[in-house]
Amino acid sequence: MEGALADNSLIERARAGDQDAFGELVRRHRAKAFDWARSFARDPHLAEDIVQEALLRAFMHLGTLADMDRFLPWLHRIVRNEALMKLRKGENSGRERTFTGIASGREAIGVDWGDLDSILHYMAGKMERIDDGDPAVRLAQNEFLDTIRHLLRCLTPKERAVFEAHFFRQLSPSEIARLFHTTTDNVYQSLSRARHKVREERMRIRLQDYIRERKDANTLEKAVLSLKKGPGSGEWKRCKTSFAGAVYAVLPYSGRDCQYSLSDVMGLTAQAFRLTVEEENIDATGPTMYFWESKFHDGLINLGLESEHAGDGGAPPTPFMLNKGVSHIRRSIGKGMPVVAWDLAAPEFGIIYGYDDPEQLLYAEDARGKKQIPYDGLGRGMSGGLFVMSVTGEKRIDEWEAVRGALDMAIRHAYGELTFVGYVCGLEAYDCWKEAFLKHRVDPIGNAYTLDIVADARAYAADFLNGLAIKLEDAGRGDSAFLAADAARHYGEAAVALKELSLLFPFPSGGAPNEPETAETAVELIGRAQSAEGAGVRLLERLSRSIRLLVKQE
């Protein structure tokens, strides 16, 4: 208890900006954080990078820690999310290169100039291999060194000394600590601050270059589209699945807004049938932790739309990716089409419908309202990840083929599609959910948030299937119509059970999910929803086969 009280005191001081207090917290818990990171990343160097980034993120967000007694679980969640974001980007295999195979200085020209780590690793051991006899390579080297020197101006003298010792002289943190007569923890903190500041400076410089290029080409522009069906509209506000809501708001620009209801969008994109939970304690990350790209693309195909995207939502953007994202937005809006974007002010989807190059501003809206976002704020919201997606044209698809595609997406998901480590999807997710309640380790807010989204989604699933039953009946397919109506009934039962749960654990307060009596009730309701949905999925399989025959006959 004494240690916990000391931690609380340090946390209070750190929240007030006391870096020494945070340094002591780091000293106490760094080893544990490193063990957590190693459980995700086998490479100790990547694990160390995860810890540094996670500790920096923890320091910047200490103010969000409501219960100081839960500091370690809170820190564990940050480390885990940082690890997942890095692994999602493939940094373990691609981005963290050592360049040991570089044989020619010409390869300096191919360095990823938007990736700080690539630049620094290259600088650390490979610059001497450049062929001084090649003017093009020598020019690249000089420009490269000028860029690095310019970047490091953002650091204090002490930060720069530590930074250069680590990256250019390849000294370990313990060696640097002895060199500068300080502690290893202080070195780690200094490196984290320096890396962050250099990345910020690199972002600022690249954005300045982007704006300068636009100005030199006399193409400096501002374009703002009129909102036809904004997120603030009644229908979007009622939809808890923000991706479907954002797509619904974009449809009027594609000429397909009259063709589809919000229930159609939820059903045809298969968002109405999704369930992903974080298996340890059902935290708030669950509903969005899946591989978006293919699911979103296939869902839009079912709506008769082609799409393209920039970013993956997994990590803050590099300068290169930020410029790519801004260019993607400008190109789409220039064609009269807003983009769907992730994390404009909160970890959910909204739309970007305008840009202003001179002011470096984006005009955006989500369910919380309108907002203006600086270019360098794109992809750097609460979750810290860039993802923008635009509709690029129409895709011809038969109506029943689209329905079958959506049903098959729902079925694959129900039986356990590939997802991230630590997360479970589909029918199996209900088992993890029950186990979390039985072990009394449920995160109140995360559980309430997940329930809010899933209960709403299942109500849309029932509505979509009921609408499908009517269409099948009108098409003279009574047998298929019966299957759709029966599936709708089961999904409706799942929605009722989940809604009852959400009333027991309202969002955002979360209720008391870990009280024994409450947990027992929750397990019973989750089991009821799981049973109903399992029956519904089996009917979807039969319905999909029936519709496949209908498509062949046509």
Report pLDDT digits (tens) over 429-444: 999 999 999 999 999 9
pLDDT of residue 100: 27
E strand or H helix that includes residue 366 = strand 361-366
The predicted structure's pLDDT at residue 241: 92
- In contact, 420 and 88? CB cutoff 8 Å: yes
DSSP 113-142: TT-HHHHHHHHHHTGGGS-TT-HHHHHHHH
The answer to whether residue 193 scores a pLDDT higher than 80 is yes
**Furthest C-alpha separation in the chain:** 84
Q: Tell me which of 497 and 134 has the higher pLDDT.
A: 497
Confidence category of residue 322, pLDDT binned at 50, 70, 90? confident
| pLDDT band of 214, cuts 50, 70, 90 | low
- Give per-residue pLDDT as tens, 397-428: 999 999 999 999 999 999 988 888 789 999 99
When the pLDDT of each residue in the chain is averaged and rounded to a whole number, the result is 81
Strand, helix or coil at 364? strand
Residue 91 has what pLDDT?
42
Cα(53)–Cα(42) distance, integer angstroms: 17
How many whole angstroms separate alpha carbon 367 and alpha carbon 231? 5
Residue 216 has a CB neighbour count (10 Å cut-off) of 9
Q: 514-554: per-residue pLDDT in tens? A: 999 999 999 999 999 999 999 999 999 999 999 988 766 66
Least confident of 37-51, 201-215, 336-350, 430-444: 201-215
Q: In a 10 Å sphere around its CB, with 0-12 CB exposed, 13-18 middle and 19+ buried, how is residue 283 labelled? A: buried
Tell whether the model's pLDDT for residue 95 goes beyond 60: no
Distance CA 36, CA 499 (A): 35
Give DSSP secondary structure letters for 382-430.
SS---EEEEEEEE----HHHHHHHHHHHHHHHHTT----TTEEETHHHH
Q: Would you say residue 261 has pLDDT above 80?
A: yes
Q: Is 81 exposed, middle or buried (0-12, 13-18, 19+ CB in 10 A)?
A: buried
Give yes or no for a contact between 402 and 248, defined as CB atoms under 8 angstroms apart.
no
Give the angle 452-512-445 at the CA atoms, nearest 5°.
Answer: 40
Which is more confident, 82 or 168? 82
In the numeric block, the tokens 């029956």 are attached to 535
Structure letter (DSSP) for residue 100: T
Handedness of CA 29, 30, 32, 36 (dihedral sign): positive
When comparing pLDDT for 100 and 236, which is higher?
236
Cα separation, 493 vs 510, in Å, equals 23
The pLDDT, as a whole number, for residue 125 is 45
Least confident range of 194-198, 338-342, 488-492? 194-198
Is the CA virtual torsion 381, 383, 384, 389 positive or negative? Answer: negative
Residue 503: name the closest of 456, 469, 452, 428 by CA: 452
Of the two residues 141 and 83, the one the predictor is more confident about is: 83
d(CA 375, CA 368): 20
pLDDT tens string 354-400: 999 888 899 999 887 889 999 888 888 777 788 999 999 998 899 99
User: According to the model, what pLDDT value does residue 351 have?
Assistant: 94
Residue 346 confidence (pLDDT): 82
Q: Where residue 469 falls among pLDDT bands split at 50, 70, 90?
A: very high
Under DSSP, the state recorded for 95 is I
What is the value of pTM for the model shown?
A: 0.69
Confidence of residue 337 (pLDDT cuts 50, 70, 90): very high
For residue 33, the model assigns a pLDDT of: 82
Poorest-pLDDT segment among 39-43, 99-103, 124-128, 255-259: 99-103
What pLDDT score does 148 carry? 67
pLDDT at 113 over 90: no
DSSP of 252-309 = HHHT-TTT--HHHHHHHTTGGG--EEETTT--TTGGG-S-HHHHHHHHHHHTTEEEEE
Residue 488 banded pLDDT, cuts 50, 70, 90: very high
User: pLDDT value at position 108?
Assistant: 36
209: left (phi over 0), alpha (psi -120 to 50) or beta: alpha
> What is the structure's pLDDT at 149?
66
Q: What is the mean pLDDT of residues 116-142?
A: 50
Each residue of 9-66: pLDDT tens digit?
Answer: 777 777 666 666 777 777 777 777 887 887 777 666 677 778 777 777 777 666 666 5
- The confidence score (pLDDT) of residue 287 equals 92
- The DSSP result for 168-218, as a single string, is TS---HHHHHHHTTS-HHHHHHHHHHHHHHHHHHHHHHHHHHHHHHHHHTT
For 264-274, write each residue's pLDDT tens digit.
999 999 999 99
What is 2-94's CATH topology?
Rna Polymerase Sigma Factor; Chain: A (1.10.1740)
Q: For a pLDDT cut of 90, what percent of the chain falls above it?
A: 40
| Percentage of the residues of the chain whose pLDDT score is greater than 70 | 77
* Structure-token pair, residue 514: 């870990």
CB-CB neighbours of 349 under 10 Å? 27
The three-class DSSP label of residue 355 is strand
Give bridge partners of residue 370 from the DSSP assignment.
365
